Structure 1
């Protein structure tokens, strides 16, 4: 049982999963941001591995990816950052990445390097279930939890197949389109959450469009095991770039407000 599964097993209420792009705006500040996320109350941290063409992400995260890439972040540096985090933290770490970055390193090498660095689970944003077999095998061999994504457009037949994978959690795309702040939760997405919970005991974590404590609570009441907040947090980071002294306190305060 790894750090992620322990967190889900021991939870008393919905867990808070916060997302940040690794290396945004640079390596050292990114490390301080990750510390602030944990200090603010995050239960799980999802780290975006910067990619030049993040098709699932909206403008806020795209810009964060660009800042990170321009600062020199790459896959090797990403694993260095994870090893730095692991020197003094046992918080569950999830990497969100894209297929090309894994293929470039080699599927087995990527998952083994991720495990050796201290990653607990991997989400591949543009990997369809039908092409995921070799990625899932490599993840399981390395002792890493694969994470499958579903949305309201997922057919019942396909959902049934996805739920046969021993996922660390199901990433429920709570709003169609790319990442970004939304003003309300989607009733169809809540229905999908309910359907998954009926069919499986795999933890479910909605993400996309969730930006404040009210929405976190709505998803918790709907039965979510964890709730993912990304773009709103990355926007907070972006807003603090002009005043570095305020950046870390702003991140900590925002996470505390989400945690309630």
Structure 2
């Protein structure tokens, strides 16, 4: 059965554009503001929303997302409250795909069966659990699939053609291609390398390919959206939120707008990317780019 994620990527493919996938940390800087930010993402142009599950030891994340998780934990955020955030969001939106992203330990402590039941009831559509390799699919991936959730796997520049079939074996929804070797918030992507990697992965799967890590602005997003099915932005949004906070990391009247404004700018880049490519092929690239970046 098709999920919200499947339906959203199919609809955007029919429109001829890539998806904008946005990441924010649940509970950062506090549960109430976090919910307001998630709600604002949709109006700003997000197509799929990833919600981080705060954890004390996020080994794949850089300083910005690590700090966001710590702010959320300090504000009292828990996995149960993260699921409530999704429930509250669903009260006003039953179409936007929601993906929970994080690490296995909080899910294990919560209890896998209980977590999957509660996540499904809350309206979660998919999971990204970065520290569970394919060899451990029986732990969570296959039970999640049986519960009707997409389990989204990461591929990296070091995932070669011999490894890819195993990575993709039980993957669904989309493939998250990590565009560089490192942690979140690191240097910008090698666009030529990303384009080649997307083509290579598509040789192994019919799933959409969303590219993340290193996307900070509309220009980065537009470059990636020309070839990928989705563009993932996270650390840049977390940084924008952090810059809006008060001296004690408290929310201010600028916090929601700081994130929404950046998402709106990046969404414009994503939506215009393939139009720009078509215009370039017809000789009209300069005038389009002038309008976009003015």
2: CA distance, partners of 1:162 / 1:38: 30
- Runs ≥4 residues deviating over 6 A: none
Q: Does residue 1:24 correspond to 2:28, yes or no?
A: yes
Q: What corresponds to 2:287 in structure 1?
A: none
Q: What corresponds to 2:90 in structure 1?
A: 86
- Matches for 1:178-193 after TM superposition, within 5 Å: 178-193=183-198
Q: What corresponds to 2:154 in structure 1?
A: 149
1: CA distance, partners of 2:110 / 2:254: 37
2: CA distance, partners of 1:200 / 1:72: 40
Q: What corresponds to 1:107 in structure 2?
A: 112
**Unmatched segments (≥5 aa) in structure 2:** 269-294
2: CA distance, partners of 1:82 / 1:37: 13
Please tell me whether Structure 1 or Structure 2 has the larger radius of gyration of its CA atoms: 2
2: CA distance, partners of 1:21 / 1:7: 22
What displacement does 1:168 show? 1.1
1: CA distance, partners of 2:26 / 2:200: 33
Q: What corresponds to 1:6 in structure 2?
A: 7
2: CA distance, partners of 1:199 / 1:215: 26
Q: What corresponds to 2:230 in structure 1?
A: 226
Give the RMSD, CA atoms, in angstroms: 1.4
Q: What corresponds to 1:251 in structure 2?
A: 259
**Unmatched segments (≥5 aa) in structure 1:** none
2: CA distance, partners of 1:166 / 1:31: 28
Count, aligned residues? 259
What displacement does 1:166 show? 4.1
What displacement does 1:234 show? 0.4
What displacement does 1:173 show? 0.8
Output the TM-score relative to the length of structure 1: 0.95
What displacement does 1:186 show? 5.0
What displacement does 1:117 show? 0.7
Bigger mean CA offset, 211-220 vs 26-35: 211-220
- 1:10-42 Cα offsets, whole Å, 9 max, x none, are 002000011000000001000111111111110
Contact 1:175 1:186 in 2 (8 A): no
Q: What corresponds to 2:277 in structure 1?
A: none
